[in-house]
Amino acid sequence: MSETSKLKEEISHCFSDLRENIDKSFILMKNNPNTKDEMIEIWKKYVVQFIGYTFNESEKYGNKEVFKEITKALIFGK
């Protein structure tokens, strides 16, 4: 298995975990509507961390195009 294939598989596992946690968040908010603001803050925190880390790594490796493309995908779904 190539390094790219291994990475793709690892990211796929991470995405499965992410989806599971998103589902848990919505179930929690449905069962406890007063947790909505807390859930929003939790998810915002990690989205900001993801964007910040991606930006820093793009800068570190001199590849700003990666950050631009990931950001575009997050904003526009492309």
CA dist list (Å): 48 to 38, 53, 66: 15, 8, 16
How much is the pTM?
Answer: 0.80
Query: Quick check: 74 pLDDT over 90?
Result: no
Q: Residue with structure tokens 């990475």?
A: 7
Query: Quick check: 78 pLDDT over 80?
Result: no
* Domain coordinates in residue numbering, the chain: 1-31, 33-78
pLDDT in tens, 3-30: 999 999 999 999 999 999 999 999 999 9
The angle that helices 36-60 and 3-31 make with each other, rounded to 10 degrees, is: 160
- 8 A C-beta contact, residue 69 and residue 55: no
pLDDT in tens, 37-63: 999 999 999 999 999 999 999 999 999
pLDDT in tens, 61-72: 999 998 899 889
